[in-house]
């Protein structure tokens, strides 16, 4: 019965035929919409990728809470605080463990061409947890020897072919901050906007590499809590009990703190959002032009349909459906190209640019909005269809 | 509304003006006329005498300014846009140019007419469209676009499209003007035959003296007035 009713409502798919019988026009429209979509995918992808990249290491920390200096503004300008604050934090009944982390940029010498480049170095006590990675513990044990470092194989290529040399069994030795080190393992962290590469070493080696570091001063304190404890509550009580030269926050707010720096204190967010907005506007103009000229070209035909007894609403529906069809047909190539370009960006910049469901659906909504908005604007032209004029 | 006098069309002292102020022209001057069901009426007259305006008024394409105009007993004077729109579904129109939809095949064009009918499945409406194309002798050209049809064939499609909506009144504005004489003759004969089968009244505006004999009644119009029949 339902199907019967549906069959009774089915009509000639006029919008579809109008578009498909004009292959050039629909190709131009699809190209325009896809171009706008690709632009939005790229701009928003870069933006989110850069924000995500800024916290690649942060996300891997094995911690519930993080202690930093209140003077620290971001991962590229970390200030130190007294290490004993961690010992004081241990006094809280919910705290099960802590890790002191040194975090600073040091000069790495590329062992292949001997050029130097700034690398983010993390120092920690190798017998304590640092990253949530199952084989990290084993790699960390190699750091117990002095002068050993773990190299991040997702670091930019300018640091040298470290991981391929290491994996081929070669002994990889180079200089960090002018002192000889040996690579004893490979980890996968990923570069960020601030750091082109990462290395992890023991606190002991770290202090040797950066002798200017004040004694007993660290940049990040990781705190692990009893399972099931109320993180926010512990944050509040630690903030009260610890002196004001240290700030306590949950790992999640530490990640947001870092992202926020890049979002609010740099132009990245603005630049890329503006780029996406430009794509959106260009798309609107193209779709509007296409639909407007389509309606103009077919004005006598629309007028004929009105003379036959089709009401204005059903003709507006035709234009709206044209807009809808265009949005789908334009989105698909934009999505596919987006995936391809993201893969390209990932392989050449090592930025974590992924096609996220939320971005894919936001851009679909934007394209739909773009096409439907343009369709509504083009509908105004339909008011010029006067059936009395066609005789 | 009940159709009291049973006429398809009933016009009494209809007036129409174009323009305003000094430019105002009285294009329809108190015209009165009737058309009975199934009647074929031809309207002739020099160009600019108001024939087409009269046709658009009857076809509910224009607002009636003054006078009585009843189609199927429905008063069009003061009728709302919606009323006029619904009425148009019962009026078939054939134009000087065929006015077919360029992006649709012959069959789809005719189905645009059949689609106006309620209560039929898509298949049934398509079957009707094919039936009408067969009736106008185009069963071999179902899936051709208007672009690939000759002038006479296009006008046949237009007739099929107009009739597919099962109108009770067919308005035709010089349907043969773009055709050669023998094709024009065929088209008009076909139109009359099919209209009669549907007991559909026809009002045809024409300049073509060769087709006057199809009419049951001949009306002559001059300067916005219908001349007393000769």
Note the Cα A387 to chain centre separation in Å: 54
Inform me whether the pLDDT recorded for B5 exceeds 80.
no
Nearest to B62 among A12, A309, A388 (CB): A388
Instruction: Name the closest residue on chain A to residue B61, using Cα atoms.
Output: A388
Q: How confident is the model at residue A6 (pLDDT cuts 50, 70, 90)?
A: low
Range B222-228 average pLDDT: 87
- Lookup: tokens for B63: 């607002």
Q: How confident is the model at residue B1 (pLDDT cuts 50, 70, 90)?
A: very low
CB contact under 8 A, B116 and A308: yes
Q: From chain A, pick out residues whose CB is under 8 angstroms from the CB of B89.
A: 308-309
- Chosen for mutation from A307, A315, A316, A389 (greatest number of chain B CBs closer than 10 Å) is A307
Nearest to A18 among B103, B116, B118 (CB): B103
Q: Which helix (H) or strand (E) holds B40?
A: strand B40-44
Nearest to B85 among A11, A309, A388 (CB): A309
- Lookup: tokens for A136: 């990290």
- Among all chains, which residue has been given the structure tokens 């339902």? A2
Q: From chain A, pick out residues whose CB is under 8 angstroms from the CB of B82.
A: 311
Q: From chain A, pick out residues whose CB is under 8 angstroms from the CB of B59.
A: 307, 391
CA proximity to A102, closest of A211, A14, A260 = A211
Q: What share of chain A is helix, strand, coil (3-state, %, to 5)?
A: 55, 20, 25
- Lookup: tokens for A37: 């979509």
Q: Measured between CB atoms, does B80 come within 8 Å of chain A?
A: no
Q: How confident is the model at residue A2 (pLDDT cuts 50, 70, 90)?
A: low
Q: Measured between CB atoms, does B75 come within 8 Å of chain A?
A: no
Inform me whether the pLDDT recorded for B24 exceeds 60.
yes
Q: How confident is the model at residue A3 (pLDDT cuts 50, 70, 90)?
A: low
CB contact under 8 A, B61 and A311: no
Q: What is the ipTM score, two decimals? A: 0.88
Inform me whether the pLDDT recorded for A371 exceeds 50.
yes
Inform me whether the pLDDT recorded for B3 exceeds 70.
no
Q: Which residues of B70-99 are buried (b: 16+ CB within 10 A; e: fewer)?
A: bbbebebeebeeeebbebbbbbbbbbbbbb
Q: pLDDT by residue (tens digit) across A197-214? A: 999 999 999 999 988 888
Q: pLDDT by residue (tens digit) across A44-89? A: 999 888 888 888 889 899 999 999 999 998 888 899 999 999 999 9
Q: From chain B, pick out residues whose CB is under 8 angstroms from the CB of A309.
A: 85-86, 88-91, 116, 165
CA distance B132 to chain A (A): 17
Q: From chain A, pick out residues whose CB is under 8 angstroms from the CB of B161.
A: 308
Contact B41, B215 (CB under 8 A): yes
CA distance A280 to chain B (A): 30
Write out residues 119-158 of B within 8 Å (CB-CB) of A: 119-123, 145
CA distance A368 to chain B (A): 25
Q: What is the pLDDT of residue B104?
A: 93
Percent of chain B with pLDDT over 70: 97
User: In A, what residues contact B, Cβ < 8 A?
Assistant: 4, 7-8, 10-12, 14, 17-18, 21-22, 298, 300-301, 304-311, 387-388, 390-391
Q: How far apart are CA A40 and CA A391, in angstroms?
A: 47
CA proximity to A44, closest of A299, A366, A386 = A366
Contact A279, A251 (CB under 8 A): no
CA distance B73 to chain A (A): 18
Contacts of A220 (CB under 8 A, 6+ apart): A66, A67, A68, A78, A100, A101, A102, A103
- Chosen for mutation from B27, B93, B96, B154 (greatest number of chain A CBs closer than 10 Å) is B93
Q: What is the pLDDT of residue B2?
A: 43
Inform me whether the pLDDT recorded for B110 exceeds 90.
yes
- Chosen for mutation from A14, A390, A391 (greatest number of chain B CBs closer than 10 Å) is A391
Q: Which helix (H) or strand (E) holds B124?
A: helix B122-135
Instruction: Name the closest residue on chain B to residue A312, using Cα atoms.
Output: B85
Q: How confident is the model at residue B98 (pLDDT cuts 50, 70, 90)?
A: confident
| pTM, 2 dp | 0.78
Q: Measured between CB atoms, does B178 come within 8 Å of chain A?
A: no
Instruction: Name the closest residue on chain A to residue B94, using Cα atoms.
Output: A391
Q: Measured between CB atoms, does B182 come within 8 Å of chain A?
A: no
Q: Measured between CB atoms, does B88 come within 8 Å of chain A?
A: yes
Q: Measured between CB atoms, does B47 come within 8 Å of chain A?
A: no
B202, β-bridge pairs: B40, B170
CB contact under 8 A, A307 and B93: yes
Inform me whether the pLDDT recorded for A345 exceeds 70.
yes
Instruction: Name the closest residue on chain A to residue B205, using Cα atoms.
Output: A391
CA proximity to B224, closest of B29, B23, B20 = B29
- Among all chains, which residue has been given the structure tokens 């030795």? A173
Contact A250, A233 (CB under 8 A): no
CA distance B86 to chain A (A): 6
- Chosen for mutation from A1, A12, A295, A315 (greatest number of chain B CBs closer than 10 Å) is A12
């Amino acid at each position: 019965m339902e199907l019967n009713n549906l069959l009774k409502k089915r009509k000639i798919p006029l919008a579809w035929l109008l578009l498909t019988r004009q292959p050039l026009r629909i190709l131009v429209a699809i190209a325009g919409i896809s171009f706008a979509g690709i632009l939005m995918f790229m701009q928003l992808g870069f933006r989110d990728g850069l924000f995500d990249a800024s916290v690649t290491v942060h996300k891997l920390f094995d911690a519930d809470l993080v202690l930093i200096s209140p003077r620290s503004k971001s991962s590229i300008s970390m200030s130190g605080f007294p290490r004993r604050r961690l010992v004081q934090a241990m006094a809280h009944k919910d705290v099960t463990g802590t890790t002191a982390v040194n975090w600073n940029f040091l000069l790495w010498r590329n062992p292949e061409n001997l050029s130097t480049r700034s690398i983010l170095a993390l120092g920690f006590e190798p017998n304590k947890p640092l990253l949530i990675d199952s084989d990290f513990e084993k790699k960390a044990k190699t750091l117990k020897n002095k002068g050993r470092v773990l190299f991040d194989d997702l670091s930019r290529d300018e640091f040298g072919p470290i991981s391929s040399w290491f994996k081929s069994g070669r002994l990889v030795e180079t200089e960090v901050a002018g002192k000889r080190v040996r690579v004893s393992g490979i980890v996968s962290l990923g570069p960020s906007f601030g750091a082109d590469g990462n290395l992890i070493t023991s606190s002991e080696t770290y202090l040797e590499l950066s002798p200017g570091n004040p004694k007993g001063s660290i940049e990040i304190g990781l705190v692990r809590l009893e399972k099931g404890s109320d993180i926010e509550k512990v944050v509040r009580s630690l903030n009260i009990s610890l002196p004001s030269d240290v700030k306590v926050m949950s790992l999640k707010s530490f990640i947001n703190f870092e992202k926020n720096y890049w979002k609010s204190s740099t132009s990245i967010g603005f630049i890329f959002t503006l780029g996406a907005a430009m794509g959106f506007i260009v798309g609107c103009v193209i779709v509007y032009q296409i639909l407007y000229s389509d309606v103009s070209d077919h004005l006598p035909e629309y007028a004929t349909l009105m003379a036959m007894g089709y009401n204005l609403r059903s003709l507006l529906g035709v234009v709206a459906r044209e807009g809808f069809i265009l949005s789908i047909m334009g989105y698909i190539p934009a999505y596919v190209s987006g995936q391809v370009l993201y893969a390209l960006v990932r392989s050449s910049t090592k930025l974590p640019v992924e096609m996220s469901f939320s971005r894919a659906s936001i851009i679909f909504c934007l394209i739909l909005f773009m096409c439907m908005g343009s369709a509504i604007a083009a509908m105004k032209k339909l008011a010029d269809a006067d059936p009395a004029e066609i005789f | 509304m009940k159709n009291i006098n049973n006429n398809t069309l009933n016009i009494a002292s209809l007036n129409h003006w174009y323009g305003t102020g000094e430019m105002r022209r009285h294009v329809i001057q108190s015209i009165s006329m009737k058309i009975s069901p199934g009647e074929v009426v031809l309207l002739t007259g020099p160009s600019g005498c108001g024939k087409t305006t009269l046709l658009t008024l009857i076809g509910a394409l224009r607002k009636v300014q003054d006078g009585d105009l009843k189609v199927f007993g429905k008063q069009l004077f003061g009728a709302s846009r919606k009323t006029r729109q619904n009425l148009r579904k019962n009026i078939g129109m054939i134009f000087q140019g065929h006015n077919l939809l360029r992006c649709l095949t012959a069959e789809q064009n005719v189905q645009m007419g059949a689609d106006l009918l309620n209560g039929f499945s898509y298949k049934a409406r398509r079957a009707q469209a094919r039936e009408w194309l067969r009736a106008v002798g185009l069963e071999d050209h179902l899936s051709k676009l208007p672009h690939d049809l000759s002038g006479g064939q296009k006008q046949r499609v237009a007739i099929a499209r107009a009739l597919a909506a099962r109108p009770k009144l067919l308005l035709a504005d010089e349907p043969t003007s773009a055709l050669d004489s023998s094709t024009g003759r065929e088209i008009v004969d076909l139109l009359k035959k099919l209209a009669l089968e549907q007991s559909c009244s026809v009002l045809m505006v024409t300049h073509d003296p060769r087709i006057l004999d199809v009419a049951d009644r001949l009306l002559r119009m001059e300067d916005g007035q219908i001349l007393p029949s000769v």
